[in-house]
Amino acid sequence: MGERTVRGFCGACERLVAIYTDHTITIRPTQLTDAPAFRELRLEALRAHPEAFLADYATNEAEPMTFWEGRIAATGSHSALYFVAHGDNLIGMCGIRRGMSPKIEHGALIWGVYVQPSWRGRHIAEEMLEACIGWARENNVRVVKLAIVSTNGGAIRCYLRCGFQVYGVEPQVLFHNGVMQDDLLMARIL
Ligand SMILES: CC(C)(COP(=O)(O)OP(=O)(O)OC[C@H]1O[C@@H](n2cnc3c(N)ncnc32)[C@H](O)[C@@H]1OP(=O)(O)O)[C@@H](O)C(=O)NCCC(=O)NCCS
């Protein structure tokens, strides 16, 4: 597996770039033409990891393309969606949305963190989370939160590395295949 050698913001392409010894990936905000690939990646995540996401595969699979276009079109000062691209392929995604009313808009929630299986273990999720944190800072967000099923050790370690701290446990959030799951609640103060 390639080691990461360089990461940083590329002024020319206006993207975060991470260069590994064996490949280069870019982390970029979504654009409307991503809708079909966004749908595919999100459905892949929901199908493969039903215990990791609150959203449900069947419900999302039934949504028309306008639903996916609408989610992309809704990004702006209240939400953002980042993809990791390797060439023309999207290999990872991560979203962030802030509170909608004046008293809660200083807080934002990370959602939908996913890296395709063959790309895991290279800390690519950290790059996506940093892109979200960068968006949060630019938009005067003061605290970023996320929730993660308490049994997902790999993801929890990733979030701890990214500066998130556990502030609580929400009991019995997710029920799948007869198993009830608690969520760990994590936050990073900016
Ligand atoms: C959680 C996830 C986004 C992490 O992405 P990543 O870019 O691989 O993150 P990292 O490289 O930091 O690895 C995180 C942990 O995954 C585990 N990991 C490493 N290589 C792996 C591989 N090839 N396959 C599966 N897990 C692997 C390791 O335990 C690692 O933690 P450690 O280095 O402290 O032991 C990714 O595993 C994923 O998409 N999982 C399925 C969906 C999910 O659980 N999303 C989180 C919802 S809140």
**Full strand arrangement of the beta sheet holding 15-20:** 4-10, 15-20, 24-29, 79-86, 89-98, 107-115, 143-149, 179-189, 165-176
Q: What is the band of 19 on the pLDDT scale with cuts at 50, 70, 90?
A: low
Q: What pLDDT, in 10s, does the model give residues 76-99?
A: 989 999 999 999 999 999 999 999
119 CA: nearest ligand 1 atom: 8
What structural domains and CATH numbers belong to the chain? 4-189 (3.40.630.30)
CA 181 to chain centre: 20
Q: What is the DSSP string of 75-132?
A: -SSSEEEEEEEETTEEEEEEEEEE-SSTTTTTEEEEEEEEE-GGGTTSSHHHHHHHHH
Ligand 1, atom 33, lies closest to the CA of 121
Work out the average pLDDT over 105-109: 98
The pLDDT assigned to 157 comes to 95
Distance between Cα 128 and ligand 1 center (Å):
13
Nearest ligand 1 atom to alpha carbon 116: 39
Name the band, by pLDDT with cuts 50, 70 and 90, for residue 5. Answer: low
**Could you read off the pLDDT of 28-51 as tens digits, one per residue?**
999 999 999 999 999 999 999 999
pLDDT for res 14: 56
Q: Please tell me the predicted confidence (pLDDT) of residue 71.
A: 96
pLDDT above 70 (res 115): yes
**pLDDT recorded at residue 11:** 55
> pLDDT for 56-70, tens place per residue?
999 999 999 999 999
Nearest-atom index, ligand 1, CA of 45: 42
pLDDT tens, 146-180? 999 999 999 999 999 999 999 999 999 999 999 99
DSSP state of 135: H
Band the pLDDT of 24: cuts 50, 70, 90: confident
